[in-house]
Structure 1
Amino acid sequence: MRRRSLALVALASLSAPALSAACPPLGLDAEGLAALRARDFVIEDADRREAMAVQWLDCLASPDPAWRDGGAYEALSAWLRGDALRPEARQALMERLIESLRTPAPDPDGVRAPFEALVLAEIARTDRIAPWLDAAQRQRLVDAAAGYLAGVRDWRGFEPGIGWRHGVAHGADFAMQLALNPALDRAQLDRLLEAVAAQVAPQGAPPYTHGEAERLVRPVLFALQRGQHDEAAWLAWLATVVAAAPPADAPTEATMLARRHNLRVFLFVLHGTLATSGSPALEARVPAVADVLRRMP
C-alpha cells in the first residue's frame, strides 16, 4: 500500500522540469520497444506501468515517429483504452498535458502539442466510457480542446522522416471525444463547435490535403446527434463557418485560394456525411448545407 501511495504522489507532483528528461523512458532501447509492442504494452506491475506512462510523455516531443507515435502514443492509448491506469494516474497525466498545451515548451519540430492533444483525446474517451471526472475537470478538458484546436497555426501534416504532426486532425479528435460525452451541456458543445468553425478555413493555412476536413466534421456530427441544436442554432453556426470565405472580389492570391478550397472541401464532406448518415435528424440538416454551397462564390 505504501509503495502505491509513493508512486502516485510522485506521479502527481512532477514539475515541468521533471518532464524534460530524455526520451526513451527507463533506458528502453529499440529492441525493448519492439518487445513491448509485441506484447501489446502489457506490464503487469501497476506502479511500474504508471511510472512509465509519465516518462512516455517526453517522447511526445520526439522527432522520431518510432518513439513518438509507435512508442508513447501507442503505449498510452493501449493503457487508457485497456483501463490499465488508475484514476489518480489518469488525473495526473491530464493535468500535466493540459498545462503543457497552455504553456508550451520550445518545440522546433512542432510535434509535441499535436500528440499531447491526441493523448488528451484518449483521456477524454475514458471519461466518456465510464465517467470519473467531475464537472470542473470536464470543463478543463473542454477548454483545453477548444483552445488548442482553434489556436493551431502549424498546419503541417505528414513529412517523411518525422511522420505526422497533424495538429488540426488531432485537435478535432480531442473535440470529437468530448462531443460524444453525454455529460457535456449545450454551452460546452457550442464551445467545441466554435473551435471547429475557427479551423475550417483559417487565414494563412495551406490547402488541407491530409484529411483535415473529414476529421473536423466528426465533432460536428456527434454534437448534432445530441439533439441540443435546433434549426436556428444550426443556421447560425453555418453562418460563422461561411464567414471565413473570401469575398467574391478578393484578389487571386494563394492564401485566398487556400481558404476557399478548405471551406468548400469541408462543406462538401459535411454535406456527404450528413446525407449518408442514415439518421433522419442528421439528414434534416442537409438542405442548409446545400444552400450554403449553392451560394458560395
Structure 2
Amino acid sequence: MRHIVLLGLCLLAAPAFARDCPPAGQTRASLQALKAAQFAVPDAAQKRRLAEGLLGCLSDPDPELRDGIAFEALSQWMRAGDFDAAALRALRDPLYATLDGEDAAGFGKPFAALALAEVARTDRIRPWMSAAERAAMVDRAAAYVESVRDYRGYSEGEGWRHGVAHGADWLMQLSLNPALERAQYPRILAAVAAQAVPRGGHAYVFGEPGRLAQPVLFGAQRGLLSAEEWDAWFAALPVKVGKLDRADYAGWLGRRHDLMAFLSGLYVQTDQSEDAAIKNLKPAIAAALRQLR
C-alpha cells in the first residue's frame, strides 16, 4: 500500500498551490491509499508539496476528498508539527485567497476557515507568526465569521459546509493563544455577537451556538475583559433580537431561538465550571436570559 502512495507522490510536479483536485500526480485511488496508510509521507519536501496541492481539494464537492482526505491530512500533519513557519505561511496565504474569492458551491470558504483554525493552532502551540501577522489573522477570522450568509450545515450526499461553526473554531484557537493581545479580543467578540443573533433570523440546527460559545469561554478564562465589559457585552445581545414585528415574525423567532440556545448553553457551562473566571460570567448571562422572557 505504501509503495502506491510513494509512487503517486513521486509523480508530483505541480506548482506550489494547485486548484485541481486530485492535485497533479495524484488520483482518487492514490489519495485513498494515502489515507489508508494514515497519511504517512516520509519525505518532508514531498509532504509539503502534497499539502499545498491538497488545498484545492478543500473546495471539492466530494466530501470524501474534501473532508475525509484533504482536511484530515492537513490537520494531522499540522498537529504533528510537521511544517516549519515557511511551510505554514505557504498554506495560510492561499487559504486567505480562498476566503477572498468566489465560492459558488459553498464548500471552499468554510473549509478554508477550518484549515485556518488548524494553522492558528500551530501558532498557539509553538509561536511562529509575528504580532502583525497574528493581528491580521484575528481581523480575517472575525471578518469571515461576520460575512457568512450561507447557513447550510450538513446535506446528505454533500457533507458539511458549516461556515459559522468552522469560523467559530478559528476564533476559538485565536482566543486560546496566550500571545493574543487583549486589545484584539473585542474584535473576536464582535464577530461572535454578529452570528449569535444572525440578522436574517436563520434558526440554527447544527450546533452552531455551542461552537460560538467557545471563544467566549476561553476569553473569559484568560481574563481578557473586566466584569463591567462582560456585563455590557451580554446586555447588548438581547437588543439584537429586536421587538416582535408581525411582518418579520419568523425572523424574530429565529433570532430569539438562536440567542436562547447560545445563552442557555453558556449558562450551563458556567454553572458547571470549576474555573472562577468562567463562573463569574453567570450573572451577566442570567440577566441577558431574563431580557428574552
Say whether 1:30 aligns with 2:65. Answer: no
Match of 2:6 in 1: none
Match status 1:229 vs 2:207 = no
Q: Between the two proteins, what is the percent identity of the paired residues?
A: 46
Match of 1:92 in 2: 90
Query: Which residues of 2 match residues 45-64 of structure 1 at below 5 A?
Result: 45-64=43-62
Q: Spell out, residue by residue over 1:62-109, the C-alpha distance to the aligned partner (whole angstroms, 9 max, x if none).
A: 0100000011101110110011122211011112212321x213x221
**Could you tell me which residue of structure 1 aligns to residue 186 of structure 2?**
190
Offset, 1:205 = 4.1
Residue of 181, 201, 207 corresponding to 2:197? 201
Q: Report 1:1-297 matches (<5 A).
A: 19-20=18-19, 22-101=20-99, 103-105=100-102, 107-248=103-244, 251=247, 253-297=249-293
TM-score, L = length of structure 2: 0.91
Q: Secondary structure at the match of 1:288?
A: helix
Q: Is the 8 A contact 2:168 2:211 kept in 1?
A: yes
How many pairs are equivalent? 281
CA–CA distance in 2 between the matches of 1:205 and 1:36? 42
Using the alignment, how far apart are the partners of 1:240 and 1:93 within structure 2?
37
**Structure 2 spans left out of the alignment, 5+ residues:** 1-12
Q: Do the aligned residues in 1 keep the contact of 2:58 with 2:67 (CA within 8 Å)?
A: yes
Structure 1, unpaired ranges of 5+? 1-9
- Measure, in 2, the Cα distance between the counterparts of 1:45 and 1:268: 49
Amino acid at match of 1:211: G
User: Quick check: 2:98–2:108 contact (8 Å CA) kept in 1?
Assistant: no
RMSD, aligned α-carbons:
1.8
Give, as a single letter, the amino acid of the residue that structure 1 aligns with 2:101.
P
2:8 matched residue in structure 1? none
Question: Any conservation in 1 of the 2:201–2:250 contact (CA below 8 Å)?
Answer: no
**1:178-226 deviations in Å (ceiling 9; x for gaps):** 0000111111111111100111111114210000011000010001111
- What is the rounded CA distance, in whole Å, between the counterparts of 1:205 and 1:117 in structure 2? 23
- For 1:129, give the aligned amino acid: I
**1:235 & 1:251 partners in 2: Cα distance?**
31
Paired position in structure 1 for 2:10: none
TM-score for the superposition, normalised by structure 1: 0.90
Tell me which moved more, 144-153 or 241-250.
241-250
